[in-house]
Amino acid sequence: MSNYNFKHLAGKHQLIYFYGKTNPKLIEELELENQQNYFLSGQDGNDGKVFYDGYDIFQRITRHNTIQPQWIFDTLNKKNIAYNFFLPLVTEKSLAIRVFNHLYGLNMESIYDIDIQFPRVSDNPLLANIVFQAYIAYRTLDEGYKFIGFEIKFSEGAPKASLRYLVRSYGVGPNFFVLQSESGLFHPETVYKVHQNAYSHTGRTHLLGHLFREQENFDDFLFVNLYPEGNESVVEDLNEYQKLLTDYGQKTFATTTFEDFFAALSLFAETDRQRNWIQYLNDRYIIKTSGE
């Protein structure tokens, strides 16, 4: 399925989730009004309807903000998806430990930090607008300190990126490519392919993980891409991206579908509060493509 078709299917799913199949006229009006951006209506956005209601997510976001950012109206935006996926784990750390040990074969003992849209500019070794959608720092059973950086891909397909685009959009300069070459993540002959293809954002964020590990003296890191299995263009891009990686690049890179992530959460859930949240994730973010 093309990226355009998947985005349309995902966006329509969001509007049906919020407004129901019984209100096709409103859904049609929102689609036309948003021109395929799939925003909530004004009052619903202002009320934080895009966020799960069970862990005070919206209250945490707006506690220090007097003006609502535009992305809280956008049902497909990766920021609000990150909050819905990961902020409940601040409360459910024991569940998170079991899930991530299961998915990635880690020896995680305790989690001491969970953050969204991380790192902040002052701590960003790239000095650019490149961040993890979610970040989890943890201690291992053998007293090591490691982290996982998550990139979420839902409906988007990344365009090819020129150097001009990178400088304008992310603030990276020529030094970025030197850092990329010296990181050991990429085969030397593939370094310049990383920023020229649809997986360019993946490469930049992977590099962020490497540099942040060195800057903060972590023992190791893992860069995880989360995506819905029905978005075939993302699957193809990630498969191609992995061909650029050295052994070190492969060791620090992982992919997980939304479906597998939610299944692991369900496997280890123990309370109704946890199960209600996981059911919300399934209802909201699992997109059934044709033939399913």
- Cis ω on the peptide bond leading into residue 119 (within 30° of 0)? yes
Confidence grade of residue 122 (pLDDT, cut at 50, 70, 90)? confident
Among 170, 189, 165, smallest CA distance to 246 is for 189
Is 153 buried (19+), middle (13-18) or exposed (0-12) by CB count in 10 A? buried
Return the pLDDT at 169.
Answer: 44
pLDDT over 60 (residue 94): yes
Chain-centroid distance of CA 247 in Å reads 24
pLDDT over 70 (residue 143): yes
Q: Which residue has the higher pLDDT, 69 or 48?
A: 48
Q: d(Cα 78, Cα 84) in Å, to the nearest integer?
A: 10
Confidence grade of residue 12 (pLDDT, cut at 50, 70, 90)? confident
Return the pLDDT at 220.
Answer: 97
Q: Where are the domains of the chain?
A: 3-77+279-285, 85-262
Q: d(Cα 68, Cα 133) in Å, to the nearest integer?
A: 19
Return the pLDDT at 170.
Answer: 47
pLDDT over 80 (residue 164): no
Confidence grade of residue 36 (pLDDT, cut at 50, 70, 90)? low
Mean pLDDT of the chain: 86
Q: d(Cα 132, Cα 118) in Å, to the nearest integer?
A: 5
pLDDT over 70 (residue 173): no
**Measured at the alpha carbon of residue 104, what is the angle toward residues 274 and 52, in degrees to the nearest 5?**
25
Confidence grade of residue 128 (pLDDT, cut at 50, 70, 90)? confident
Q: Which residue has the higher pLDDT, 27 or 234?
A: 234
Return the pLDDT at 193.
Answer: 77
Strand 145-152's sheet: what is its strand order? Answer: 108-118, 132-140, 145-152, 220-227, 253-257
pLDDT over 90 (residue 226): yes
Return the pLDDT at 3.
Answer: 60
Return the pLDDT at 186.
Answer: 93
Q: Which residue has the higher pLDDT, 114 or 175?
A: 114
